Amino acid sequence: MALKLGPLSDVIGVEATGIDLSRPIGPEDRAALEAALADRLVMVVRDQTLSPAQLLDAVRNFGPLKAQHLTSLLLAEHPEIAVLDSRRTKVGADGRHVAIGARDWHTDHAHQERPPNYTALYAVSLPGAGGDTSFANMQAAYAALPAARRSELDACTVITKIDDRYSEADDKAAHREARRHPLVRTHPVTGRKAIFFHPGMVERLEGREAEESHTFLEALLENVISPEVTYRHHWRPGDLVLMDNRGQMHVAHQDYDLSLGRVLHRVLVEGERPY
């Protein structure tokens, strides 16, 4: 097989076929995958058959692994993997399962001192329909703004917090300390700038009150996230999706019966402090 790379949309996403990540890959293929991911921010590697150990080895091609914070969801034999199983979620008062994770556009763990460079999701089991994930190119969203608006955002600093919805079973203590990160971060490989924050992990913007900050950021996302900068991924069994948290936001669509079972294995890759 020969590695083939092709765009998934005009503005974000690349599809990789003709490669088997259950086996070691050569330096040329690794470099091609890394370059495509830096450029397109989301990569879908199709038709993979990966045991948990093979999944970890596959993701290590993109950097050292980062510990998970969702301690209640870890795979016992491989704690670097969080199991996102819609059937193992809490059940609400209406008898329906409550989905795991953020319900809004976000980038993963933006509250941490060194947020993960990449999040990898591997499709283990899928419902018959629904459960897509949408991705937004926040570099393109930023670049499309008028110069004066970009300058305004460049001057903003986010004071972070831990997401209030995390349970006590999760590792709150390790992530409770507030951080200061730029609202606009620079990608160390491409030099492109992107809007960068997690709405559920923002205490406030520096120099503004919390309510004003959240209103400002909500309006910002409503303004910049449009069909022109997004791609909606329809999952297939065996998809391995890698997302570059330094340049994209994403949201999981909850338009399916969670009791049917949507199971993804999640792995994180170490990152650097945003600048």
The pLDDT tens digits of the residues spanning 177-196 come to 678 999 999 999 999 999 99
Q: State the pTM of this model.
A: 0.91
Asked if the model's pLDDT at residue 274 lies above 80, the reply is yes
Q: Candidates 3.40.640.10, 3.40.50.300, 3.60.130.10, 1.25.40.10; correct CATH number of 4-269?
A: 3.60.130.10
pLDDT tens for residues 132-161?
Answer: 999 999 999 999 999 999 999 999 999 999
Q: Is the pLDDT of residue 169 over 50?
A: no
How many Å is the Cα radius of gyration of the chain?
18
pLDDT in tens, 13-46: 999 999 999 999 999 999 999 999 999 999 999 9
The domains of the chain are located at 4-269
Identify the pLDDT of residue 89.
63
In whole numbers, what is the pLDDT of the chain averaged over residues? Answer: 91
Nearest to 275 by CA among 114, 159, 132, 151: 114
Confidence band of 167 (pLDDT split at 50, 70, 90): very low
| Vertex 212: Cα angle to 158 and 207 (nearest 5) | 50
Contact 18, 6 (CB under 8 A): no
Mean pLDDT, range 59-65, rounded to an integer: 98
Distance (Å) of CA 51 to CA 55, 77, 79: 6, 12, 14
The DSSP bridge pattern shows strands 118-125 and 193-195 to be unpaired
168 pLDDT more than 50? no
